[in-house]
Structure 1
């Protein structure tokens, strides 16, 4: 991935959990990453309903069982695997997917402008 920035190391996101990250310097919107089955899924941290961050408490993106991403403001529920909203005020919409790659040393890379 050219023009990329390191987000974190994969092992900094516990399996079955999510973590939030600020946008790049000067960016207003952050990112969220979820680790499931050894893969990492990265999205822009913005609900498609009205553009608010998905979490109220740091790193609280998932429902209790850890099966869905949830907007704490409106209760919208999104699939982890593709960000598709299955219920709530933005049902049928999707979170903005951020292309992520994990290199051989376990670093998660995203586009340099992701979250701006």
Structure 2
């Protein structure tokens, strides 16, 4: 397993990006007591999603937002709710939380 960080390193709600992983660039979102991990790739333009380092969420910290065209994705499953890729989804990355640390699953 590849350790990303301690879960406590991610604010709640909040997000954190990781550029160098065996799965390529990924990001984690901590929301409503859960942690979600996705590939850092917009399904529309194949660009990174964040508008600033570790900033993947909209102003209300309720949805994931693409910096290029404002597409909005549901945190819980990565489905695009608004934007040019509506109906598409972010790629979920298998992960585990163990002893307070976040790991990519093998």
TM-score by length of 1: 0.86
1:67 lines up with 2:62 in the alignment = yes
1:76 lines up with 2:71 in the alignment = yes
**Which residue does the alignment assign to 1:15?**
12
Structure 1: which 5+ runs fail to align? none
Cα distance in 2, alignment partners of residues 7 and 60 from structure 1: 17
Structure 2: which 5+ runs fail to align? none
RMSD: 1.4
33, 41, 55: which one aligns with 1:38 = 33
Higher relative contact order (CA 8 A, sep 6+): 1
Name segments (4+ residues, structure 1) moved above 2 Å.
none
SS in structure 1 of the partner of residue 16 of structure 2: strand
Larger Cα-atom Rg: 1
Contact 2:26/2:40, CA 8 A, preserved across alignment = yes
Q: Aligned residues, how many?
A: 106
Cα distance in 1, alignment partners of residues 7 and 71 from structure 2: 27
